[in-house]
Amino acid sequence: MANTDETWDQECDVLVVGSGGGALTGAYGAAARGLDTLVIEKTGYFGGTTAYAGAGLWLPGNQAQTRGGLDDSVDLGRTYFRAVVGEASPHELQDAYLDHAGETVAFLEDNPHLRFEYRPFPDYYAAPGRFEAGRAVFPVDLPAPESPHALLDAVRPPAWAERLGLPPTEGPLTDGRALIGRLLLAMESTGNGRTLLHTALRQLITEDGCVVGAEAGQDGRTLRIRARRGVLLAAGGFEGNAELRRDWQGLPGADWTMGPQGANTGQALVAAVEAGAATGLLDQSWWCPSLRFPDGTAAFTLGLHGGIFVDGTGRRFANESLPYDRMGRQMLAAKAGTTSDNPVWWIFDGRFGDELPGITVVPADRKAFTEAGLWRTAATLDGLAQRIGVDTEALRTTVRTFNGYAADGTDADFHRGEDAYDRFFAQGEGANPCLVPIEEGPFHAVQIVLGDLGTKGGVRTDAQARVLREDGSPIPGLYAAGNTTASVAGPTYPGPGVPIGSAMVFGHIAASDMAG
């Protein structure tokens, strides 16, 4: 909205909206360069979805990789990224990400609070320049504070704790929580960063086409915040907004996302559009198969080491060991698990006892799932087919064929187990440890639906992380990073750590541009 009022409730050089990895990298970067920086966060916690994440960071050619003995480089990263993403996002944007990845890590590690380390997790596509063992770096665990600490105590709890209403386990902050904690400490150490929780951006304030501040809601009152150098929007996607998801993605509801509930509802994106921003990739998310929970939510599921996925016809439709975003895309293509009427069933046998043969980021209570009809069991395969309402003969044939593949070690239909990523999680034996036969009763079926780790369509940005208008010109004073933007990865998820890694790089670039 155009500025019609000369009074401001708060003033700063840089206003950062959101507090995930991209936001806080930008906030630290601005504060470290001496800019008075204000972070506003809508919820009562810092960290957003980033705090839930494993926080692998895909940043080719960085110094933490070198310390880990990995011989990666920007050019190798570029070869791979181009091969996977191709023309699906502007090369200028891809190059900005790749060329600044190592520099971002070096800049961050100049602060003693920030430390990263290499851990293996394979890239997601067999393409030139790939590291089969992986190239992502992760934040080093952060020891828990010895006494109350206003910032660290407000880091969002892990997903399982929030979803199950449990306290987080004591001990160090790990993964995404370590990243958020470390970035907050780094920002605090500059003496130039301030934060406001429970403060939600509502609108951007413009003067002569330039963004000069924002209006935010806080405890029922309105704050007008002036930002002298610029506003960085890093407020996640619109995964929590059922209406926008229906309009832009053609999918019902917003219950199956992994975004913290009620957090990422697309307000920043809508505000940017009102200020003239162009958008792209609105139909895209970082997809993942997800376990459907009795309360209507769903939880990210990965790393299957047993079982197969079948659709409503009782047939397999993909390699179940695919990286999660690729499996999500197969579900979309097969229209399987996209609504509550067409669930995917994860079929496995009695050898796993009461455990699910895979990783779910929120643990499942078998009794509650069984009562809700989301976990069904039968002594025979035919009995299981009847329990889940799929054709008995079809399921029998699917399992017989799969068991034959397991005996041969070759999945002639979907090539499961042929890729390094598939084998990363395998626990089976024999020629192909990804193919574990389904033969011992009781037989189980658990509902899987299409979830996401956030939407990835949003405002279009350039190599300086500036938000662009439809005509390609930047909106002065407006920057964006992370899932508020049309992703640099286009409709692909090239490897572990691209969502947060790219958010951090563009947050870093935005800060450096605002510092001038």
Q: Which residues bind ligand FAD (CB under 6 A)?
A: 17-23, 40-43, 48-50, 52-56, 159, 200-201, 234-236, 258-259, 263-264, 267-268, 286, 300, 361, 453-454, 482-483, 496-501, 503
Can you give the three-state secondary structure of 34-67, one letter per residue?
CCCEEEECCCCCECHHHHHCCCCECCCCCHHHHH
Query: Minimum Å distance from CB 291 to ligand FAD?
Result: 12
How would you class 166 by CB atoms within 10 Å of its CB: exposed for 0-12, middle for 13-18, buried for 19 or more?
exposed
Query: Minimum Å distance from CB 438 to ligand FAD?
Result: 28
Query: Minimum Å distance from CB 152 to ligand FAD?
Result: 16
* Alpha-carbon span 54 to 175, nearest angstrom: 5
Query: Minimum Å distance from CB 493 to ligand FAD?
Result: 9
Query: Minimum Å distance from CB 240 to ligand FAD?
Result: 8
Helix runs in 119-214, H state only: 159-164, 175-190
Strand partners, 450: 289
Residue 315 φ then ψ, to 5°: -110, 150
Instruction: Look up residue 42 and give its two tokens.
Output: 């809508």
When the beta carbons of 319 and 455 are compared against ligand FAD, the nearer one is: 455
Query: Minimum Å distance from CB 175 to ligand FAD?
Result: 7
* Alpha-carbon span 184 to 408, nearest angstrom: 53
Strand partners, 38: 15, 194
Query: Minimum Å distance from CB 443 to ligand FAD?
Result: 29
By C-alpha distance, which of 274, 276, 268, 275 is closest to 199? 268
Residue 221 CB partners (closer than 8 Å, separation 6+):
none
DSSP 3-state of 186? helix
Cα of 1 vs its chain's centroid, Å: 31
When the beta carbons of 307 and 499 are compared against ligand FAD, the nearer one is: 499
Q: Give 121's DSSP letter.
A: B
Quick check: 232 and 16 in contact, CB under 8 A?
yes
When the beta carbons of 285 and 319 are compared against ligand FAD, the nearer one is: 285
DSSP 3-state of 431? coil
Query: Minimum Å distance from CB 428 to ligand FAD?
Result: 25
* Alpha-carbon span 485 to 483, nearest angstrom: 5
Q: Tokens 């934040």: give the residue.
A: 139
By C-alpha distance, which of 112, 202, 193 is closest to 150? 193
Instruction: Look up residue 419 and give its two tokens.
Output: 């890729």
Query: Minimum Å distance from CB 440 to ligand FAD?
Result: 31
Q: Give 489's DSSP letter.
A: T
When the beta carbons of 160 and 352 are compared against ligand FAD, the nearer one is: 160
Task: Pick left, alpha or beta for residue 430 (phi over 0 → left; psi -120 to 50 → alpha; otherwise beta).
Answer: left
Query: Minimum Å distance from CB 430 to ligand FAD?
Result: 31
